Amino acid sequence: MPNPPAPDRRTLLKLLAAGPAATALGGAASAAPAYAALAGTGSLAAPGIVKALPAEHFTVRGTNAEARFDGFADTGLLTPADRFFVRNHTSTPVLDAADWRLTLWGDGLHGRSPVHFTYGQLRDLPSVTRTALMECAGNGRSLYASQQGEPVTGTAWTLGAVGAARWRGARLSDVLRRAGIAHDAVDLQPRGLDDPYVSGGVDFGRVRRPLPVAKALDDVILAYEMNGATLPYDHGHPVRLVVPSWVGIASIKWLGDIEVSTRPLSSPWSTDWYRLFGAAHPDGGSAPISRQTVKSGYQLPFGATLEAGRLHRLTGRAWSALAPVRTVEVSTDGGAHWRPARLLDEPRRDGWVRWSVPWRPRRTGPVTLLSRVTDAAGNTQPERSVHNTQGYLFDAVVRHPVTVV
Ligand SMILES: Nc1nc2c(c(=O)[nH]1)N[C@H]1C(S)=C(S)[C@@H](COP(=O)(O)O)O[C@H]1N2
Ligand SMILES: [Mo]
């Protein structure tokens, strides 16, 4: 399965209008004959995103599309690709698997360098299949302002910059060994084939971020399938990294090359961003962030109305990147009383669990619903998240307003 279904004509026009990324590398041109059909309706426009973004499932934020977390109620444990959030620094390049190759280079390879792998060679390696969450480091960011009154910069996600998928691909460790990784290699730097990221007149180069060799050799996948189908264009076609339990930025999409180095590497994605800056953190910022954190939420719109006197079944999801979920507690009275929710899935590492709780509200008026996850290592959601200026790793209990009528 070399390529996902080609974008429709309207999308192609949008991509062409979006600039050189869409047409670079011969991808769009070679896929062109399939563009004949359909023009979508009821969809939002995000510059540079190929897939349809129906308004009932997505909120567009700049070049990104947030999935509607409240709408996950009708999805299973896996998030379908057409409901999965997209985080693009620039725009989705439409690449052809047949033209793609991965280049490994740097002083951390002991033999000849560079080393190349074609798509076919990658697919011929033993494959692994693994379910893992993909979650942006800034997921929940807007809650720093709305709930804690603290300003942060960056995309104002609510809770929908997360999804779970079943990824299939080659082990990065297999590729590194075949490429001849040296024993003293310490850092990799995977880099995407999307356009260089330009912001405020500064060209930061193509999206890339150091990845320690220890993690790379542990459980990182070069994924070419998502939920049993060819990896979609927006999610990194033909090949992306999947770095389980780490912040989404580690999982470089449209992977083009990997530097392998015997010295520590850096990029703006490890120096300017994806560190914790602010009063509670060291001068110059924390170390680059790696693991995601703990979160939970109700699959209900903010401000939903619920009928008094009726028995409602409230549902949600909870997850931790640190250990399997152990308990979810809920409060339907603003935090005065807590009770356990029923877990609907067996907790697993790198996954989430669905939960439910019955609730018959008696009195009409505004109510704050809360949920709190605790994982098997004892990590739990605090009342407040420790502020950082770029709003990463929000982990506090979410205060979810509803109205009983
Ligand atoms: N090449 C490239 N890789 C990338 C990005 C990008 O813009 N370009 N965004 C990163 C970020 S910040 C996140 S959160 C995830 C999002 O993956 P998704 O769009 O498949 O949901 O991809 C990461 N990989
Ligand atoms: Mo992200």
Q: Atom of ligand 1 at shortest distance to CA of 84?
A: 21
143's CB contacts (< 8 A; 6+ apart) are: 158, 385, 394, 396, 398
**Which of 166, 251, 393 to probe ligand 1 with, by most ligand atoms within 8 A of CB?**
251
- CATH topology for 9-271 is Sulfite Oxidase; Chain A, domain 2 (3.90.420)
Nearest CA to ligand 1 atom 24: 252
The segment(s) of the chain belonging to CATH 3.90.420.10 are 9-271
For residue 154, which of 394, 386, 389 has the smallest C-alpha distance? 389
How would you write the pLDDT of the chain (405 residues) with one tens digit per residue?
A: 556 766 654 454 444 444 444 333 333 333 322 222 233 456 788 889 999 999 999 999 999 999 999 999 999 999 999 999 999 999 999 999 999 999 999 999 998 889 999 999 999 999 999 999 999 999 999 999 999 999 999 999 999 999 999 999 999 999 999 999 999 999 999 999 999 999 999 999 999 999 999 999 999 999 999 999 999 999 999 999 999 999 999 999 999 999 999 999 999 999 999 999 999 999 999 999 999 999 999 999 999 999 999 999 999 999 999 999 999 999 999 999 999 999 999 999 989 999 999 999 999 999 999 999 999 999 999 999 999 999 999 999 999 999 999
Q: How far is CA 49 from CA 5, 8, 36, 111, in A?
A: 14, 12, 19, 39
Instruction: Delimit the CATH 2.60.40.650 region(s) of the chain.
Output: 294-404
How many of the other CB atoms lie within 10 Å of CB of 370?
21
Answer for the pair 40, 51: CB distance below 8 angstroms, yes or no: no
Domain 294-404: give its CATH code.
Answer: 2.60.40.650
Q: Which of 159, 249, 270 to mutate to test the pocket of ligand 1 (most atoms within 8 A of CB)?
A: 249
Q: Which atom of ligand 1 is nearest to the CA of 241?
A: 24
CA 88 – ligand 1 centroid, Å: 6
How far is ligand 2, taken at its centre, from the CA of residue 87, in Å?
A: 6
The ligand that comes nearest to the alpha carbon of residue 252 is 1
User: For residue 137, which atom of ligand 1 is closest to its CA?
Assistant: 14
